[in-house]
Amino acid sequence: SYSNCRIEGVYGDFDQGSQNIGGLVGKNRSRITYSYAMGEIHGDSFLGGLVGLNYAGGTVSKSYATSDVYGLYCVGGFVGLNYEVIDNSYARGIVSGKSEVGGFIGVNSCISEDSDYIEKSYSTGKVTGINVEKVGGFVGEYVGCPAFYNCLWDSVSSELGYSVEGTGRNTQQMKSVLPGFDFNTIWSIDPNINDGYPYLQIKTVSVRENPETEKTGISLYPNPANEFVKITIKDQSAIILNVRIVDLFGRLIKEGEVGGVSREIIIPVSEITSGYYLVRIQTNREYLSLALIVE
């Protein structure tokens, strides 16, 4: 199974006729939870922002993709070709192909009529294709089995008002508490996060006042922080090369100024919105991320 995984970058090669390409996994037969991918996917067929082919046993839950996906056939913002269960997930990237193109799933099929379903998921990206009969805001083509429950797509941002499955809603409706979605324990909504669309409550790492990794001797203090955070390295042979604070979606919030040979850096955080962040630290010996709470 895969959990708490993150991938950023550009994947696939359109010129090579490549298939089964996903931002996180090409072919999935396991369980994926609390994971995401961002970047660009280029290929031929069975392309997805998170998973290319989601096959027998390959369930996906509480995950998302912001990848832009470009291909020919079976192209989806989240999964290219799906046979299994997907729940509480979303896709935000552009999706473009010739046929079987969908904002969330390119082609949806099944293995078991009794257990396969798609629920509480949405897509928002622009969707384009040539064979308009097999292009949809949420699903490009539906060839059987899984039931769809509370599946939505933004009919304005996708520039598509139709899909073989799912319900189209305008942008204002999408940026609200969505029907059937659990906004107590799974989803949250904030006009300043995820462009105002609902986002997943990411599992967070508990933090002590002065957490320090035993392996690296790097400390982050204070934590939680409201005015500044100080990063210190005890190892005399290590120096800080780069420090970035990013949000849980990987977006750069603030970059620390590192001058000369330094084993300590102070970063002001008073102007950063309260919430959970990751501090990405690069030294001359390693690269790591530490959890940070800004109050």
Average of per-residue pLDDT across 177-191: 93
Quote the longest CA-to-CA distance of the chain. Answer: 64
Please tell me the distance from the alpha carbon of residue 17 to that of residue 31, in angstroms, as a whole number. 27
pLDDT at 9 exceeding the cut of 90: no
pLDDT of residue 293: 85
Average pLDDT over residues 5-19: 57
Q: Is the pLDDT of residue 212 over 80?
A: no
Please tell me the predicted confidence (pLDDT) of residue 115. 60
**Confidence grade of residue 145 (pLDDT, cut at 50, 70, 90):** low
Whether the predicted pLDDT of 139 surpasses 60: yes
Residues 6+ apart with CB under 8 A from 20: 26, 27, 46, 52, 53, 80
**What is the length of the chain?**
295
Q: For a pLDDT cut of 90, what percent of the chain falls above it?
A: 49
pLDDT at 27 over 60: yes
pLDDT at 13: 53
The stretch 107-116 carries a mean pLDDT of 74
pLDDT at position 118: 92
Bridge partners of residue 292, in order along the sequence: 277
Q: Stretch 49-61: mean pLDDT, rounded?
A: 91
What is the rounded CA–CA span in Å between residue 250 and residue 278?
8
Q: How large is the average pLDDT for residues 215-239?
A: 83
**To the nearest whole percent, how much of the chain has pLDDT over 70?**
85
Q: For residue 180, what are the contacts with CB-CB under 8 A and spacing of at least 6?
A: 119, 120, 149, 150
* CA 268 to each of CA 34, 50, 281: distance values in angstroms, whole numbers, following the listed order: 30, 35, 16
Q: pLDDT confidence of 110, banded at 50, 70, 90? A: confident
**CA–CA distance, 217 with 275 (Å, rounded to integer):** 25
* Rounded Cα gap, residues 8 and 31, in angstroms: 20
| pLDDT band per the 50, 70, 90 thresholds, residue 210 | very low
Over residues 111-125, the mean pLDDT reads 83
Per-position DSSP letters for 33-96, written without gaps between them: ES-EEEEEEE-SEEEESSEEEE-TT--EES-EE--EEE-SEEEESSEEEE-S-EES-EE-S-EE
